[in-house]
């Protein structure tokens, strides 16, 4: 059987699970204007963040890549980029990097002589797209038309014993149905790089996964004299937990290892390096083209992403307490049956059912730093 869902096809051929118009801030300085535009336009969602200026090299490139990636997300009918004018992350530079396959426009506060003018110009442009987007209807597409993101939140041993058998099967089923899966690889999964590398046919991916298992490397700049402080060797406990978490990735071959802020080149199962900050990780998955994200957690999670439906899978809490943040509560019952339930839930949510976090309107956006601001 082929999985299908009801989605929106975009002018660039991709298929989304939601029908938004993105109002994207190029820099923190335009965030108030972006929010106001989004408040005035139906279907519009604001992408505001703390970055965009006084950034150097790779750190700046990362911010730009994530924002450009977000405009390509299939859940967006089109995107309005709103800048200030004098920032490092220039609107013109972003427009150059965004393919002209979907409605896109850029405006800036300084060019339009102030916030009020920018809001009215922005509302005008976004309203027109919102009207066009509102006339779109959901149609049936194979689930293989979308990328499904999966990431963990606060995984611990007891929760993984319950979630891993189920989610491992979910991933296998998705891959068997040609659905692309991007699995967040945060510091809790990195120590399992060694065993994951055995499933990677590509020698470069194999080597990169192996390197990740050697220890955690993260940039820090306060103690500039001591550059080795970035490497922290994994403890046995961390490695054991990671090997358990690795079971969430199923049994199929691992086709790619992506950096945060990049876009998958390979079909199939990709791992993507993400920070442990939930919102930053979700933004990375949204930027990589995911139309839905499954958060596999030890508990209810208090935030989703503005860009995409975020659903939570966590162990059933004992007693009759129902966690209002959890979309699917898993138990020790039959894993195959529960995997079917999770896949069905993914399909339902992709077809328009609201996830718990969407019902509560808890969605955020944020971009990681790989360097300090100046």
Partner 1 sequence: MKTFNGYRRKNGTIGVRNHVIVMNTTGELAGLTKKLANLVPGAVPVTHQTGQMQYPEDIQQIYRTLKGTAGHPNVSATLFIGMGQNDPAETIAEELQKEGHHVHALTVQKSKPISVVLNEGRQWLAEAVKRSHLEKKEKADVTELTIGLECGGSDAWSGVTANPSIGAFSDAIVADGGTSILAETPEAIGAEHILAKRSVSKEVGEQFLKIVDEYESRAQAIGEDVRSANPSPGNITGGLTTLEEKSLGCIKKGGTAPLEEVVPYSGKPEKKGFIFMDTPGYDVESVAGMAAGGAQIVLFSTGKGSPTGSPIVPVVKIGTNPKLYKNMPEHIDVNAGKILEGTHNINDIGMEIYDLVMEVANGELTASEKNNHQEFAIWRLAETM
Instruction: Check residue 218 for interaction with partner 1 (CB under 8 A).
Output: yes
Cα Rg, the chain, nearest whole Å: 20
Minimum distance from CB of 68 to partner 1 (Å)?
17
Residue 269, burial from CB neighbour count under 10 angstroms (0-12, 13-18, 19+): buried
Residue 86 or 134: the one with the smaller Cβ distance to partner 1 is 86
User: What 3 state SS string does 71-105 have?
Assistant: HHCCCEEEEEEEECCCCCCCHHHHHHHCCCCCCEE
Min CB(160)–partner 1 separation in Å:
17
How many Cβ atoms are within 10 Å of 236's Cβ, its own excluded? 8
The yes or no reply on residue 303 touching partner 1 (CB under 8 A) is yes
How many CA atoms are closer than 13 Å to the CA of 357, on its beta-carbon side?
24
- Angle between helix axes 335-350 and 157-176 (nearest 10 degrees) is 70
Strand partners, 9: 15
* Calpha distance 105→272 (Å, rounded): 29
Task: Check: CB of residue 17 under 8 Å from CB of residue 146.
Answer: yes
What DSSP designation does 233 have? Answer: P
Residues contacting partner 1: total by CB under 8 A: 66
278 forms part of the interface with partner 1 (CB under 8 A):
yes
| Residues 227 and 190 sit within 8 Å (Cβ to Cβ) | no
From the list 64-72, 140-148, 158-166, 212-220, the region that binds partner 1 by CB under 8 A is 212-220
Closer Cβ to partner 1, 124 or 302, answer by number: 302
Under rule CB under 8 A, residue 120 binds partner 1? no
CB of 317 to partner 1, least distance (A): 7
Binds partner 1 by CB under 8 A, chosen from 39, 58, 237, 336: 58
What is the smallest separation between the CB atom of 57 and partner 1, expressed in angstroms? 4
Q: Does 50 bind partner 1 (CB under 8 A)?
A: yes
Residue 185 interacts with partner 1 (CB under 8 A): yes or no? no
User: What kind and span of H or E run contains 344?
Assistant: helix 335-350
158 belongs to the binding site for partner 1 (CB under 8 A): no
Name the segment binding partner 1 (CB under 8 A); options: 16-24, 243-251, 262-270, 357-365. 357-365
Q: Measure the CA–CA gap between 48 and 261, rounded to whole angstroms.
A: 17
- Block residue for tokens 């975009």: 10
Q: Is 224 in the site for partner 1 (CB under 8 A)?
A: yes
Q: How far is the CB of 159 from partner 1 (least distance, A)?
A: 12
Binding interface with partner 1 (CB under 8 A):
28-29, 31-33, 50, 53-60, 84-88, 90, 109-110, 113-116, 187, 216, 218-224, 227, 275-280, 299-304, 317, 321, 323-325, 360-364, 366, 368-374
């Amino acid at each position: 059987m082929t999985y299908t869902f009801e989605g929106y096809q975009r002018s660039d051929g991709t298929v989304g699970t939601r029908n938004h118009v993105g109002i994207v801030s190029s820099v923190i300085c335009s965030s108030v204007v972006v929010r106001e535009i989004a408040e005035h336009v139906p279907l519009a969602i604001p992408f505001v963040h703390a970055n965009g200026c006084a950034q150097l090299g790779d750190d700046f490139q990362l911010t730009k890549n994530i924002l450009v990636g977000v405009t390509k997300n299939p859940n967006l009918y089109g995107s309005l980029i709103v800048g200030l004018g004098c920032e490092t992350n220039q609107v013109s530079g972003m427009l150059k990097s965004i393919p002209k396959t979907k409605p896109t426009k850029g405006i800036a506060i300084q060019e339009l002589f102030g916030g009020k003018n920018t809001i009215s110009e922005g509302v005008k442009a976004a309203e027109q797209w919102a009207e066009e987007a509102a006339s779109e209807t959901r149609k049936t597409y194979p689930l293989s038309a979308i990328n499904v993101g999966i990431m963990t939140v606060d995984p611990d041993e007891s929760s993984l014993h319950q979630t891993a058998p189920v989610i491992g099967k979910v991933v296998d089923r998705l891959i068997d149905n040609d659905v692309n899966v991007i699995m967040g690889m945060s510091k809790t999964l990195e120590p399992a790089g060694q065993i994951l590398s055995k499933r990677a046919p590509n020698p470069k991916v194999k080597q990169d996964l192996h390197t990740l298992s050697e220890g955690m490397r993260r940039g820090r700049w306060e103690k500039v004299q001591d550059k080795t402080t970035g490497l922290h060797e994994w403890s046995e406990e961390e490695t054991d937990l990671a090997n358990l978490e690795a079971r969430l990735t199923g049994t199929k071959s691992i086709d790619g290892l992506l950096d945060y802020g990049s876009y998958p080149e390979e079909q199939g199962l990709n791992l993507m390096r993400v920070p442990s900050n939930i919102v930053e990780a979700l933004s990375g998955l949204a930027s990589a083209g995911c139309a839905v994200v499954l958060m596999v957690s030890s508990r209810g999670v208090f935030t989703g992403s503005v860009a995409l439906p975020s659903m939570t899978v966590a162990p059933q809490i004992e007693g009759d307490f129902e966690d209002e943040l959890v979309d699917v509560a898993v138990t020790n019952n039959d894993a195959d049956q529960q995997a079917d339930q999770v896949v069905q839930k993914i399909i339902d949510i992709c077809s328009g059912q609201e996830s718990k976090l969407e019902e509560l309107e808890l969605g955020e956006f944020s971009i990681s730093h790989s360097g300090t601001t100046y």
